[in-house]
């Protein structure tokens, strides 16, 4: 209400200020089209559009990237939404993360027939493995197959990013180390934390590449990232595993509730594979856990992580026919709101029937 009242006043103040600056001293000032030539009545001079030609987009980038997100077993709400034994879900916050970066999403339903799942993988420009709890059975096998396919596509020359978040981080750790018992107990349920950057780490090419120096400093001191996990891996064990330490660089670590250090961000040395043991998607899009940071800095963390993910996906030049993309987009499904419980996810997409739209 107040903003409407104040808007005209503010606008007129702004206009006056700009005009004053224009008159006073600033020949290089930038003017709105309406201000150009506004002083005289010659309308033909008012706005010369030839001076405002947009530059062509970079042909090496794909400006319509699509992110595949793998669904996780269950309904994401302990049976409150669905008890269907085939149900799987994607928390909408992961979808919003991709959308916030400027991408659309295709759900990869983990228990749909493999052939159709892998056809859908052929429609996307990058993949997110989400948080959750499933570490064995079909889910583990499918994550492994998709991960290997992603590496294969990169080896074949496509830039195909993988974002492994929380459980995704844990699964990729198990897959690369080929050790299902590599994880250790960590006490980091429902807590926010800072991120400790590894000394002299090069953040070029990592999720932090676009972070302004001010925000990087705050990440180190303020609790700007959400943790919600009970498994992790210590820097010592990580570095001690040849497979892990030759595949990934450790970028950040965190301290759990008992002072134990665990690895919290890794970046592959060779592939666009990013692992985070924290939740970039929660700051802006989840409300059910009491400790999720929602400050302006925290929201920037979500936004910058989204920008990084999608900027990587834009380098994938995989451009399948549009009809196939449209009929598989997440927009063909409706999320369910389940925030009334005050815990868990706010919105989830639930997949119960095998539905191949290809
Ligand atoms: C699932 O089963 C539980 C336990 O029987 C029940 O409380 C819940 O209402 C069921 N959920 C749905 C969506 O029917
Ligand atoms: C679950 O999926 C299997 C095939 O994967 C199917 O045979 C079964 O009928 C499905 N169950 C339900 C409850 O939809």
Report the pLDDT value the prediction gives residue 298, as an integer from 0 to 100: 98
Report the pLDDT value the prediction gives residue 49, as an integer from 0 to 100: 60
The phi-psi region of residue 193 (left if phi > 0; otherwise alpha if psi is between -120 and 50; otherwise beta) is beta
Site to probe by mutation for ligand 2, drawn from 79, 86, 87, 113 as the one with most ligand atoms within 8 Å of Cβ, is 86
CA distances from 22 to 28, 37, 48, 329 (A): 9, 12, 19, 49
Whether 254 sits among the annotated catalytic residues: the reply is no
CA distances from 339 to 165, 228, 287, 289, 295 (A): 22, 18, 8, 10, 20
Report the pLDDT value the prediction gives residue 7, as an integer from 0 to 100: 44
Q: Which ligand is nearest to the CA of 87?
A: 2
Report the pLDDT value the prediction gives residue 48, as an integer from 0 to 100: 59
Domains of the chain as residue ranges with CATH: 2-52 (no CATH), 66-341 (3.40.50.880)
295 lines ligand 2 (CB under 6 A): no
Distance CA 248, CA 225 (A): 21
Whether 166 sits among the annotated catalytic residues: the reply is yes
C-alpha closest to that of 83 among 355, 354, 352: 352
**Which two three-digit tokens encode residue 114?**
């493999």
Which helix H or strand E contains 188, and what residues bound it?
strand 184-193
Report the pLDDT value the prediction gives residue 41, as an integer from 0 to 100: 52
Name which residue sits closest to atom 10 of ligand 2, judged by CA: 86
Active-site option among 166, 229, 308, 338: 166
Q: Helix or strand or coil: residue 190?
A: strand
Residues written for the chain: 358
Tell me if 72 sits within 8 A of 110, measured CB to CB.
yes
How high is the mean pLDDT in each 10-residue block of the chain (358 residues)?
Answer: 45 45 55 62 55 86 97 96 95 98 98 95 98 97 98 98 98 98 95 96 96 97 96 97 98 95 98 98 97 98 98 96 94 94 93 67
Distance CA 174, CA 152 (A): 18
Distance CA 269, CA 273 (A): 9
Distance CA 329, CA 107 (A): 7
**CA-113 nearest atom, ligand 2:** 5
């Amino acid at each position: 209400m107040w903003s409407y009242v104040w808007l005209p006043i503010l606008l007129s103040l702004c206009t006056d200020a700009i005009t004053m600056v224009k008159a006073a001293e600033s020949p290089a000032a930038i003017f709105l089209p309406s201000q150009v030539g506004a002083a005289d009545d010659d309308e033909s001079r008012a706005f010369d559009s030839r001076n405002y030609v947009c530059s062509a987009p970079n042909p090496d980038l794909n400006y319509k990237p699509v992110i595949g997100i793998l669904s996780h077993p269950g309904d994401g709400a302990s049976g409150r939404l669905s008890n269907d034994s085939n149900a799987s879900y994607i928390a909408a916050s992961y979808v919003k993360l991709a959308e916030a970066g400027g991408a659309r999403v295709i759900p990869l339903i983990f228990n749909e027939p493999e052939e159709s799942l892998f056809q859908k993988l052929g429609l996307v420009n990058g993949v997110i493995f989400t948080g959750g709890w499933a570490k064995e059975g079909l889910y583990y096998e499918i994550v492994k197959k998709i991960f290997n396919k992603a590496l294969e596509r990169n080896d074949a020359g496509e830039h195909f990013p993988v974002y492994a978040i929380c459980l995704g981080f844990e699964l990729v750790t198990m897959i690369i180390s080929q050790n299902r018992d590599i994880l250790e107990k960590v006490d980091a349920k429902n807590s926010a934390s800072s991120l400790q950057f590894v000394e002299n780490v090069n953040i070029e090419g990592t999720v932090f590449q676009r972070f302004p120096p001010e925000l990087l400093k705050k990440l180190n001191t303020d609790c700007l990232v959400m943790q919600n996990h009970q498994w992790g891996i210590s820097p010592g064990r990580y570095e001690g595993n040849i497979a892990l330490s030759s595949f990934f660089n450790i970028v950040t670590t965190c301290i759990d509730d008992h002072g134990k250090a665990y690895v919290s961000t890794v970046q592959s040395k060779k592939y666009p594979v990013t692992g985070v043991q924290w939740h970039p998607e929660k700051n802006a899009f989840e409300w059910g856990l009491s400790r999720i940071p929602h400050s302006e800095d925290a929201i920037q963390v979500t936004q910058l992580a989204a920008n990084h993910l999608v900027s990587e996906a834009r380098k994938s030049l995989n451009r399948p026919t549009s009809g196939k993309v449209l009929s598989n987009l997440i927009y063909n499904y409706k999320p369910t709101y389940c925030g009334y419980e005050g815990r868990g996810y706010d919105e989830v997409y639930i997949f119960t029937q095998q539905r191949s739209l290809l």
